[in-house]
Amino acid sequence: MNNATPTSRLTHRDQDLDLPFVEAVEGNSGISIAPLRKQTGDVTYDPGFMNTANTKSSITYIDGDEGILRYRGYPIEQLAEHSSYLEVAYLLINGELPTQGQLDNFVSSVERRTLLDERFKSLFDGFPRDAHPMAVMQAGVSALSTFYQDSLDPFDEDQVRLSSYRLLAKVPTMAAYAYRVSKGHALLYPDNQLSLIENFLRLTFGFPVEKYIADPVVVRALEQLLILHADHEQNCSASAVRLVGSAQANLFTSISAGIGALSGPAHGGANAAVMEMLDEISERNMDPKDFMERVKNKEDGIRLMGFGHRVYKNYDPRAKFVKKIADDVLERLGIHDERLDLAMQLEEIALKDDYFVERKLYPNVDFYTGIIYKAMGFPTQMFTVLFAIGRMPGWIAQWNEMIHDPETKIGRPRQIYTGSELREYAPMPERTGTTEIRLEQLQAELEAERRAQQERIAQERRQDH
Ligand code: ACO
């Protein structure tokens, strides 16, 4: 890589500027605009970072036009076909595929740390039954900083390694507990004779009084889905992890920010949104073509969830693989899900329709995952949680890269101010305007809050009986 060679000339307000050019191994190279403000007094403006690279990275490569995704140079298809979740975690975090000895050590370092401190039970029990499991998991990951104060120093490699094992091992346990608490089911202790994924399935679906035997097809399918979700370079949640980490916050705290970002429906929450969309179309007996017309007309701002991607302007390579897994799992479990037929119909319409073709909107990873998770027995609210378990190695790798990068500075974007110019403070009697409206609004908000609270109490009573 040939960094910081001044080869980009920019003319701005009649001034010629030579800006450092940062060359990529593959994909977009960059023009370093760091000196711009110093030289011109102006900043760049790029909402949503459509054109801004925040970092150099050697973890994941995506070619969105060609539909290519590679972790550390290895194509995602090969990893999903041949590798295991923990081997991929090792690869992402350490940069190379492990030898057998390295892998054995890594797997055992993770798999023996699945147990949560007993006090986590009361923490999880304290949340309302209908709490979203992503919120519960975010709180749980954040709480790891309180239980494991021996591994919080971001600059101590041994401590960071220990925190990484803890995250990989304990997050699936937390996910399972978040699910069981919402069901009012007893929490099981992990069984470390089992693999991480079998353990997670048992903790989620098992019963204290019976032996749980996981279906190997389901275990492998879940493993492949976790691999497909393991990293995706500088997406919203990875950027959140890096941004929080750039303030030297510890790994647990940084990753809990990533979980928050992932919960949004425009990001990881899309897999649940796809299911809700398919259910709504079925329940309302809507013709898929009519639904697509509503999407194209942007009625009520609806979108075809699970379609489109900031980076992929081609078929998401993960979506192709997911479709295959959906076929395998449904066949194995003997399930015929009409939602799969409906999703395929919507895809067929979209791929032939000018609206989607012109905007290069293709299925993303979330379009078919929900159907598989449903077949496995997960409720819709758990879909994004599964995504978060998968993404854990990527977040850890991104955070590590950030913390070791000598160019890392605290993430602190500039802004272009559009508010009032300087004005004098006005004493209360001199102010005119909207006091009554604000009071009415406040009363309406209080009333809505009171009703929501009553509804929640009533619901909890119903659940308790
Ligand atoms: N359905 C209908 N129209 C869409 C969709 C969609 N799913 N996605 C984008 N468009 C349209 C937009 O309305 C816009 O049209 P316009 O040019 O007429 O204004 C155009 O395509 C570009 O859309 P943007 O929102 O500017 O694209 P952006 O790159 O910002 O958004 C995003 C990407 C958020 C993923 C978007 O495609 C979307 O909302 N998809 C649905 C949600 C989803 O599936 N998210 C999961 C992403 S993958 C992941 O996080 C794992």
Could you write out the DSSP letters of every residue in 378-433? Answer: --GGGHHHHHHHHHHHHHHHHHHHHHH-TT-----------S--S-PPPPGGG--S
Interval between CA 308 and ligand 1 midpoint (Å): 5
Q: Which of 267, 273, 263 is nearest to 139 (CA)?
A: 263
d(CA 248, CA 254): 9
- What SS3 class is residue 248? coil
Interval between CA 307 and ligand 1 midpoint (Å): 7
Burial of 309 (0-12, 13-18, 19+ CB in 10 A): buried
Interval between CA 244 and ligand 1 midpoint (Å): 26
309 noted as active-site residue: yes
d(CA 57, CA 59): 6
Ligand 1 site: residues with CB under 6 angstroms? 266-268, 270, 295, 303-310, 359, 361, 364-366
Query: What atom in ligand 1 is closest to the CA of residue 355?
Result: 3
d(CA 9, CA 24): 18
d(CA 453, CA 462): 14
pTM attached to this predicted model: 0.88
Residue that is written with structure tokens 């590798």 in the block: 83
Q: Which residues contact 301 (CB under 8 A, 6 or more apart)?
A: none
287 noted as active-site residue: no
pLDDT in tens, the chain (465 residues): 444 455 788 999 989 999 989 999 999 999 999 889 999 999 999 999 999 999 999 999 999 999 999 999 999 999 999 999 999 999 999 999 999 999 999 999 999 999 999 999 889 989 998 999 999 999 999 999 999 999 999 999 999 999 999 999 999 999 999 999 888 899 999 999 999 999 999 999 999 898 999 999 999 999 999 999 999 999 999 999 999 999 999 999 999 999 999 999 888 888 889 999 999 999 999 999 999 999 999 998 899 999 999 889 988 899 888 988 998 999 999 988 899 899 999 999 999 999 999 999 999 988 999 999 999 999 999 999 999 999 999 999 999 999 999 999 999 999 999 999 999 999 998 887 655 667 778 888 999 998 988 888 887 676 555
Burial of 413 (0-12, 13-18, 19+ CB in 10 A): exposed
Query: What atom in ligand 1 is closest to the CA of residue 311?
Result: 29
Q: Whose CA is nearest to atom 41 of ligand 1?
A: 305
Q: Tell me how far CA of residue 31 lies from CA of 8, 25, 27, 53, 409, in angstroms.
A: 7, 15, 13, 9, 18
Q: Which residues contact 213 (CB under 8 A, 6 or more apart)?
A: none
Q: Whose CA is nearest to atom 18 of ligand 1?
A: 359
